[in-house]
C-alpha cells in the first residue's frame, strides 16, 4: 500500500480529486450565500399534517392568569395526545398575549413528551413581543436539558434565559439550596440591602414540601416547576409555582389521615351551601388545622403562605387549584367552571415588599 500512495498515477488522481472537491465546496458556499437558511426554520403545518402530526391550536390569549379556562382545556387536550402517544404539533402562530405561567405549563407538558419519546414540534407566534418572551424565557434551553440528575448544581440549575430561571428537580422533596440561592438573586434585583427574605424562603420550602407530600396520588410523588422572572428595570421579581398533582381539594379527600376524620366535609359544614372557593379561604386562614385538631396550628402549609402575604412580604398572590380561582391579595375566591388537577401559584416581590431579617 505504501508503494501505491507514492506512485505517480495515484498522486495525479489525488490531485484531480482535491481540485474537484475544492471547486465543489466553492460552488456550494456561493450558492449558500445567496440562499441563507433561517436557523429557526420549522416545518409548515401542511408538512406536519402530511407527516401524521396532530395540530393543537393555542388561543390568542395564552395566559394562565387572564385566560385560565382555555389554557387548562388546551393542557388537557395535549395530555390526552401524550397518553395516546400521538405526534403533536403546537401551533402558536395566533398568540398575541403570552405569560410565564402558560410558558411554564407548556414546558412541563412538552418535557413529558421528550421523556416518553413521543414526537412533537411547533412554531412561533407571529406577534413579535410574544415570540421574544417565549425565546428569552429559557423555554428551549430547559426543554432539551437533562433533568435526570438529583444533585444541586448552582451553575446549571440557575441558568438564565435573559431574565428567567426555570427550575425543577424530579425526585427531590425539598431543596433548601434552591430557596437560599433564589432569595439571594431576588435581593440583588430589588436592591433590598442583600437581606434574605424570610417570608420568601419559607414559602418556597412549604411549596416544595407540599407538592411531594400532598400533590401526588397513591402511585407516587409529583414533580414541581418553579419559574422566577427578574425585571431589573422595575425592580420586581415574579414567581410561578406549578404542579400537575391532584389539587388541594382532591388531596384533602384522598389522603388517609383526612379520610378518617372527613376534614373536607367538616369544612363544608362550617359554611352555608359551602363551595370549594369558600373552603379554600378557610384553609388559607388556618381553619383546616383548627377543624382537624381543635387547636390553632399556625404556620403550616397554605396557611403559612397566607401569613406571608398578609405581612406584605409578597404581593399579588394568586392560587388556582381544582375548580377554584383565587386572587388572595384582594380576598377574591371564585369557581372557574372547569377542573384543574394540580396547583398553580403566582406572586411578586418588589422594593416595597417587607423583608424581615432572620433572628440571631
The most distant pair of C-alpha atoms in the chain lies apart, rounded to whole Å, by 102
Neighbours of 332 (CB within 10 A): 12
Hey, is 211 helix, strand or coil?
Answer: helix
Task: Give the whole-angstrom CA distance, residue 74 versus residue 76.
Answer: 5
pLDDT above 70 for 325 = yes
166-184: pLDDT as tens digits: 887 665 567 788 888 888 8
Q: What is the mean pLDDT of residues 43-63?
A: 87
Q: pTM score, two decimals?
A: 0.77
Q: What is the mean pLDDT of residues 156-162?
A: 57
Q: Band of the pLDDT at 113, cuts 50, 70, 90?
A: very high
- Dihedral angle, C-alpha 90, 94, 98, 101, nearest 10 °: -30
58-72: pLDDT as tens digits: 999 999 999 999 999
Q: Which pLDDT value is given to residue 295?
A: 46
Q: Which pLDDT value is given to residue 291?
A: 46
Instruction: Identify the burial level of 74 via C-beta atoms within 10 angstroms of its C-beta, where 0-12 means exposed, 13-18 middle and 19 or more buried.
Output: buried
H or E element, residue 333: strand 332-350
Q: What is the mean pLDDT of residues 244-272?
A: 61
pLDDT above 50 for 294 = no
Hey, is 234 helix, strand or coil?
Answer: coil
Q: What is the mean pLDDT of residues 96-103?
A: 95
309-321: pLDDT as tens digits: 888 888 999 999 9
Q: What is the mean pLDDT of residues 292-313?
A: 70
Q: Which pLDDT value is given to residue 11?
A: 74
Q: Band of the pLDDT at 260, cuts 50, 70, 90?
A: very low
Cell of 154: 448552582
Cell of 206: 412549604
pLDDT above 50 for 360 = no
Q: Which of 145-154, 193-202, 235-244 has the lowest mean pLDDT?
A: 145-154
Q: Which pLDDT value is given to residue 253?
A: 66
Across all residues in the chain, what is the average pLDDT? 78
Q: Which of 56, 130, 344, 91 is nearest to 225 (CA)?
A: 344
Instruction: Identify the burial level of 272 via C-beta atoms within 10 angstroms of its C-beta, where 0-12 means exposed, 13-18 middle and 19 or more buried.
Output: exposed
Strand partners, 166: 227
Q: Which domains does the chain have, with CATH numbers?
A: 34-145 (3.30.750.24), 248-342 (no CATH)
pLDDT above 60 for 160 = no
Amino acid at each position: 500500500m505504501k508503494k501505491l500512495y507514492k506512485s505517480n498515477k495515484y498522486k495525479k488522481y489525488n490531485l484531480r480529486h482535491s481540485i474537484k472537491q475544492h471547486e465543489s465546496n466553492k460552488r456550494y458556499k456561493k450558492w449558500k450565500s445567496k440562499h441563507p437558511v433561517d436557523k429557526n426554520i420549522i416545518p409548515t403545518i401542511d408538512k406536519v399534517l402530511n407527516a401524521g402530526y396532530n395540530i393543537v391550536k393555542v388561543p390568542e390569549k395564552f395566559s394562565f392568569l387572564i385566560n385560565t379556562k382555555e389554557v387548562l382545556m388546551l393542557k388537557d387536550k395535549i395530555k390526552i395526545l401524550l397518553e395516546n402517544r400521538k405526534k403533536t404539533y403546537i401551533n402558536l402562530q395566533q398568540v398575541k398575549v403570552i405569560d410565564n405561567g402558560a410558558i411554564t405549563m407548556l414546558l412541563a407538558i412538552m418535557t413529558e413528551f421528550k421523556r416518553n419519546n413521543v414526537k412533537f414540534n411547533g412554531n412561533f407566534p407571529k406577534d413579535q413581543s410574544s415570540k421574544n418572551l417565549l425565546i428569552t424565557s429559557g423555554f428551549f434551553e430547559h426543554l432539551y436539558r437533562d433533568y435526570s440528575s438529583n444533585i444541586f448544581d448552582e451553575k446549571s440549575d440557575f441558568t438564565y434565559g435573559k431574565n428567567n430561571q426555570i427550575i425543577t428537580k424530579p425526585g427531590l422533596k425539598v431543596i433548601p439550596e434552591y430557596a437560599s440561592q433564589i432569595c439571594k438573586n431576588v435581593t440583588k434585583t430589588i436592591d433590598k440591602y442583600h437581606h434574605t427574605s424570610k417570608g420568601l424562603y419559607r414559602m418556597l420550602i412549604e411549596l416544595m414540601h407540599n407538592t411531594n407530600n400532598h400533590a401526588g396520588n397513591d402511585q407516587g410523588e409529583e414533580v414541581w416547576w418553579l419559574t422566577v422572572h427578574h425585571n431589573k428595570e422595575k425592580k420586581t421579581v415574579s414567581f410561578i409555582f406549578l404542579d400537575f398533582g391532584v389539587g388541594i381539594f382532591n388531596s384533602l379527600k384522598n389522603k388517609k389521615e383526612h379520610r378518617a376524620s372527613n376534614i373536607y366535609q367538616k369544612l363544608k359544614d362550617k359554611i352555608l351551601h359551602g363551595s370549594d372557593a369558600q373552603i379554600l379561604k378557610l384553609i388559607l386562614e388556618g381553619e383546616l388545622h383548627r377543624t382537624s385538631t381543635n387547636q390553632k396550628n399556625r404556620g403550616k402549609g397554605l396557611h403559612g403562605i397566607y401569613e406571608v402575604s398578609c405581612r406584605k412580604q409578597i404581593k399579588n398572590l394568586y392560587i388556582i387549584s381544582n375548580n377554584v380561582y383565587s386572587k388572595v391579595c384582594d380576598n377574591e375566591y371564585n369557581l372557574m367552571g372547569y377542573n384543574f388537577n394540580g396547583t398553580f401559584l403566582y406572586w411578586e416581590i418588589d422594593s416595597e415588599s417587607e423583608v424581615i431579617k432572620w433572628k440571631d
